[in-house]
Structure 1
Amino acid sequence: MYGYNYWDEKQREELAFKRKTILRGVGEKVYEYFFEKIEERGLCSREGQRDMACEIVDAMIEDKHFLCEAGVGIGKTYAYLVPLMLYWKKCTEPIIIATSTIALQNQLLGDIERMKSDLKARADVILIKGQAHYLCKERLHDYSEECDEETKIILNTIDNSGNQEDADFDISEKLWDKINVNNYNPRLCDKCVHKTYCTYYGLRKEVRRTKGFVVCNQDLLISDLMKKSWEYGDTRSILTDDYKYVVIDEVHNIEGKVRNALTGSLGYYDIKKSINKLVKACRRNDSIHRSSKEYISIIDSMFDAFMQDITRQDQAASKDNCDIEKYSVPQKQMQKAHQLKKLYSDIYTTAEATAEFEKNNEHIYDILDSLEEQRGLLEAFINSESNVFWITCPKKKKEGIVLYYCPSDIANDVKKLFFSDKRIRTIMTSATITAGNSGDSKEDYAYFLKTTGLSDKSCILSEPKESPFDYDKQAIVYYNDYLANPSENRELFIEQGVEELIKILEITKGKAMVLFTAKSDMKKVYNKLVGRVPYKIIIQDERVPQKEVISQFKSDINSVLLGAGSYWEGVSVEGVALSNLVIFKLPFPVPDPIYEKKMERCKNGLMEVLVPEMVLKLKQGIGRLIRKEGDYGIVSILDPRIGDGSNAQYKGVVWDAIPIKNKTNDLNEVKAFYKNITQEIQL
């Protein structure tokens, strides 16, 4: 045994030495590409880009993870593609690149093809989007049998395309949701009669055996890593098992993405529906009837109590001038979990026994499968110390209550998924990762390290790469001191904010996007603006896809767009259509059970959790203004809490994090700046 270990260790050492030798050769080629030949290839030489590329090679040689905040415009995509493509030429190992937006995935395809041509590499490249983007021919066939003739004509046309984006015409979301892939199951899909012509089925096979580049979304990568981990109970992985390097672009989303993947949910309506279906299927079993009746009675009393507590929380929130999206769960109700679990076990065991004696028992087993979600909820309730719970109730009715739960320590799960497997190294980048600008990389990346469980000892923390754009020449930040404090007098702040906003919009004649932290604030401002400004006011509409709203905004160059939520990031409007970006209020996260749990672990919850979250979102929002070298404009922050007269302890942190240092609280200076820069551009 001792001899076997010795030779096994010897072999590992030889492989590590060989890999390092290859990587040093890659490093020489990377240096040559960025320092000697980049301009010959028709590309701009950017200091941040070439430094980042060389540091990635260093991380690969040292067998470490890599983390880098890369400012807008440095060309971070090429910074990681060049070393990885050169490495692939030597080793032909799969490379996984995961992003959070389809726009970046499509851009990556073009960049990879150019890199293949530049470096004479013959790597396969596969783009696999989320399953909902692909057509399910089985669902298409079933739906076409029950729809009208006009819809059948549309469906016949759709049948020739593999995914939503490939169709020659716009397909309504409502229709697409009826015919797309919604629950890919390898066992069932292997038996499907349509599998030979199924785009998604073919892609799933390809990504299991490829030796090339795979571009996917972060959700799919997380799902794959969860399936590869025995701890999460499913070993049917999605991606190939042979990759060494994973790139996570837009990595600032990763904590939230993992939380979403590990979040369970169950609605009042779903609970009652599944239990009633089981009672109906086992209608001759009196025991199931009795237990189910008692089970539903307890559920009813729980959700009645939830509804009462939601009303109480809303009343308290209105006094504090804030909105609630995630409600706390009353601890008293969680104590009923043991009683419910006993009833659940009785119902499940009896139904399972009943199914054995039924001839057509598949429908009973299907119902029992759906009941597994309830078992997960009850287990989470019983182990409440290791989970965090919240409720949503958008319609303010008991029937609309949905209960959610997830692990309370998401950082531990992120660490297990991305940083525990010694065979895999992760290259992480985004334009917004640091929550400060102290000059000490460990301190500036501290919040990201804390929320992901990443150790600075296992990772190269790259010094943040500043954007090559001349922010102080291209933009100015306007702030004020005299508006009411929004946390103390919200209504007065909104009244004054609208008046200030009208003055700001006049400078650029519209051409503005106004970002909000609360949809209720956004709607109030919309109602007060309409009819008072001569520009078209476009407001975010949940019923309309974001790309359609952005298209409207771009097509009317003087329009004003009001947005919240997802509009803080991922929106790219280049050129004069977006010349004025307004931050209505500092984007502090809305208090909810998740942030409360985070803050419980800190000495100073404000500075250790809420401020870093706010700064990261603020940087994302401000990043919407300057998207390319020729862009210019105004950033206006109406919130007075970072004004000269404010004593807020986070004021300095905010100003240090904003990349635009040219700032003023004088509107006349803003007018002069915009007039001068507009004239310069026109010349």
Structure 2
Amino acid sequence: MKIMELPLDTAVSRFFDEAERNGLERRQGQVEMSQEIAQAIMNKSSLIVEAEVGIGKSIAYLVPIVQQFFRDRRQVVIATSTIALQEQLERDVHNVLKMIGVKAKVEGAKGMKNYICLREARKHRKENEEFAALFELALRGVQRKSALSVTDRAWDKVCINSVGQKCDDCKYRGRCEYLQMRERIRCNDSIVICNQNMLVSHLLNMESGRGIFKGNLSTIVVDEAHNLESKFRDAFTNSFSQREISREIMKVTSNRKNTMSRLIIETIKMIDAFFNFLKNDISQQQAAADADMKTFYYRPSLEIKKLVLKLRSNMKEIEMRTNRRLHSLQTLRDSENNANLVWLSNEHGVRINVCRKDIRRDIGRLLFSSSRSTILTSATLTSQNSGTLKDRYGYFMDSLGYPDDICISEPKKSPYNYDEHSMMYVSNKLPCPKRYNRNRYRQEAIAEIVRLLKITHGKTLILFTAKDDRDYVFGQLTSAGLPYKIMIQSSDSSQEQRLENFRKNVDSVILGTGTYWEGINVEGESLSQVIIFKLPFPVPEPIMEYKMSKAECPLLEVAVPEMVIKLKQGAGRLIRSADDKGIVSILDPRASSRIKTAYREDALSSLPENNTTENITELKRFWRKIREENKNE
């Protein structure tokens, strides 16, 4: 009997029974996860499952969804949040197809900023040789950034995401790889691997018939699902920048400048003044914070409130005179609604953002459907290690409006030997890291970091919650005369090269924040220690403040779960393969027995390192032990 003629769960079992023949090591957690996903698909239900490092979760979900694809020939979408995982999944799905002995259309669908715009490349081709070469390559069909050697500055000028134009009238439309890809995933029954933003965009638009994928989706898998709430929040948010609001005014008044010039000039000046205030206030908020802020409070002074009222009045007059509605005006008006959150961001210039406060019901309605299965997975979905499954997944489930009748899986524990290969050290020497003693904490932390680096002789990733702390420690370590190469996270296209240097320089040390908590994968001796500079509690900011305002105990119901999930991500950088060995060191004394916090047990028990010590002598003995073991292997 052909495998496709068997019930799905039986076919999945047979695949793993023959795993060794296909070069796969049989892992019990992987088999259990795959079987649970098969059951969810067969029942058209949804499932949430945490799978720790080493489970092989991509194979676990690919086996049942690929086999189901050949049963109903309905499109399948796998969404993740990083390009690195997208590219790995493209390789994995082709391997699974080969193991099963079938062929299928597989579409790697990256976001528009990963593709060049031929029209923009042509416009810039005479500026220098780099742009000229990009245009020639694009004409020959080389249009993905990953296939091009290009600086970030040049790419920002020619990628589709930066254009802000409609593609309907573009003469290169028929040669555009991005548009061709969009057409294929809209028309073909295929296995699509995309980013989470694309999936969320589809879910928001499908009800109006403008979805990106086919309407017959049978299964959605979201990997790295701990990032999904923020993707939905972004999609539900209306925002505008100074440039956009000014350009909108100029566009609707382009034919009436002679009669409206004074009003336009006055309005543009007010917009400039308004955004200058916002820029200054963002700088003040960031300077006062003890961690990096991604969003900022909108807190206008009385003078600015009067300016905004006058600005709205001018924009209403422009609307009446031109009989054109200004989107930016509507966004400003929306900010007055108590049901909305208003905040500022400053990643690519200052933006005002407006979004409804509670979007959980909308997320649940869009994400979970009776006509398909939705599988949510990640290595970090639970925020506590005790209680019922609903308790353990509770924070994540609540953030997505997860229905009560949806299946919840027992977390799949890593098969790696953490008991023998790793130890967690918690420092009890440092002062509690509060804003008022930030400098004292940083200064005393340097001595503790140096002691820890001497144990492993470098080979360390140090994770921070604030760039300011990272830069301070980097400066102190580079001037300390240590016998290790000290590196710091790069913010440009040389990031991967920086990590490659860290891998090759075995005794080196690298300092990072932000994406380094979950975005890097370094196997082997080069990463033998992860140092957590401070527990990664969320910084006070508008969205987090709203969440905390709805909780009976904001610390334990919101701040601690957020911290625990990120702590698991950071500590998870250490053991990336069965042979990896090393140390997770937490400098923050709030995780120590000296400061008996209400969340200490939840934080430490959430990590797979069961061997925990606050004695640095014991830590040295452990390191000597695993070094001896490595020599004898």
Report what 1:117 is aligned to: 98
Question: Which residue among 52, 57, 61 is the counterpart of 1:80?
Answer: 61
Report what 2:316 is aligned to: 345
Q: One-letter code of the match for 1:522?
A: R
CA drift at 1:162 = 3.1
Q: Is 2:118–2:135's contact at 8 Å kept on the other side of the alignment?
A: no
- 2-side partners of 1:612 and 1:562: how far apart? 25
SS in 2 for 1:608: helix
- 2-side partners of 1:448 and 1:226: how far apart? 21
Query: TM-score of the superposition, structure 1-length normalised?
Result: 0.86
Across the two proteins, how many residue pairs are aligned to each other? 625
- 2-side partners of 1:335 and 1:441: how far apart? 51
Question: Which residue among 26, 39, 53 is the counterpart of 2:20?
Answer: 39
Structure number with bigger Rg: 1
User: Within 5 Å, which residues of 2 pair with 1:237-636?
Assistant: 237-272=211-246, 274-275=248-249, 281-285=255-259, 288-292=260-264, 295-296=267-268, 299=271, 302-303=274-275, 306=278, 313=285, 317=288, 324-330=293-299, 340-352=311-323, 371-372=326-327, 374-383=328-337, 385-392=338-345, 401-419=350-368, 421-457=369-405, 459-487=406-434, 489-532=437-480, 533-636=482-585
Percentage of identical aligned residues: 35
Report what 1:364 is aligned to: none
CA drift at 1:137 = 1.7
Relative to 1, partners in 2 of residues 1:166 and 1:90: Cα closer, same or farther, differing over 3 Å? same
Report what 1:646 is aligned to: 595
Question: Which residue among 579, 595, 610 is the counterpart of 1:661?
Answer: 610
Say which is worse superposed, 211-220 or 236-245, in terms of deviation. Answer: 236-245
Q: Is 1:255–1:410's contact at 8 Å kept on the other side of the alignment?
A: no
CA drift at 1:352 = 4.4
Q: One-letter code of the match for 1:224?
A: H
- Residue segments in structure 1 that go unaligned for 5+ positions in a row: 1-21, 354-367
Report what 2:199 is aligned to: 221
- 1-side partners of 2:190 and 2:279: how far apart? 52
SS in 2 for 1:182: helix
- 2-side partners of 1:56 and 1:323: how far apart? 38
Query: TM-score of the superposition, structure 2-length normalised?
Result: 0.92
- 2-side partners of 1:274 and 1:343: how far apart? 14
Q: Is 1:479–1:637's contact at 8 Å kept on the other side of the alignment?
A: yes
Say which is worse superposed, 158-167 or 126-135, in terms of deviation. Answer: 158-167
Q: One-letter code of the match for 1:492?
A: R
SS in 2 for 1:454: coil
Are residue 162 (structure 1) and residue 142 (structure 2) matched?
yes
- 2-side partners of 1:314 and 1:682: how far apart? 48
Say which is worse superposed, 121-130 or 328-337, in terms of deviation. Answer: 328-337
Q: Is 1:67–1:462's contact at 8 Å kept on the other side of the alignment?
A: yes
Relative to 1, partners in 2 of residues 1:306 and 1:114: Cα closer, same or farther, differing over 3 Å? closer
Q: Is 2:426–2:592's contact at 8 Å kept on the other side of the alignment?
A: yes
- 1-side partners of 2:27 and 2:279: how far apart? 57
Q: Is 1:244–1:423's contact at 8 Å kept on the other side of the alignment?
A: yes
Relative to 1, partners in 2 of residues 1:681 and 1:604: Cα closer, same or farther, differing over 3 Å? same
CA drift at 1:462 = 0.2
- 2-side partners of 1:238 and 1:569: how far apart? 28
Q: Is 1:69–1:464's contact at 8 Å kept on the other side of the alignment?
A: yes
Report what 1:360 is aligned to: none
- 2-side partners of 1:238 and 1:481: how far apart? 53
CA drift at 1:654 = 0.5
CA drift at 1:109 = 1.4
- 2-side partners of 1:549 and 1:602: how far apart? 42
- 1-side partners of 2:11 and 2:616: how far apart? 51
Q: Is 2:62–2:96's contact at 8 Å kept on the other side of the alignment?
A: yes
Report what 1:202 is aligned to: 180
- 2-side partners of 1:536 and 1:314: how far apart? 30
Question: Which residue among 19, 30, 34 is the counterpart of 2:12?
Answer: 30
SS in 2 for 1:97: strand
- Residue segments in structure 2 that go unaligned for 5+ positions in a row: none
- 2-side partners of 1:243 and 1:277: how far apart? 40
CA drift at 1:555 = 2.7
Relative to 1, partners in 2 of residues 1:28 and 1:323: Cα closer, same or farther, differing over 3 Å? closer
- 2-side partners of 1:378 and 1:550: how far apart? 43
Relative to 1, partners in 2 of residues 1:312 and 1:573: Cα closer, same or farther, differing over 3 Å? closer
CA deviation string 1:452-502 (max 9, x = no partner) = 101231x11000000000112111111111101101521111111111001
Q: Is 1:540–1:562's contact at 8 Å kept on the other side of the alignment?
A: yes
Question: Which residue among 172, 177, 181 is the counterpart of 2:160?
Answer: 181
SS in 2 for 1:489: helix
Relative to 1, partners in 2 of residues 1:394 and 1:626: Cα closer, same or farther, differing over 3 Å? closer
Relative to 1, partners in 2 of residues 1:209 and 1:643: Cα closer, same or farther, differing over 3 Å? same
Relative to 1, partners in 2 of residues 1:519 and 1:23: Cα closer, same or farther, differing over 3 Å? farther
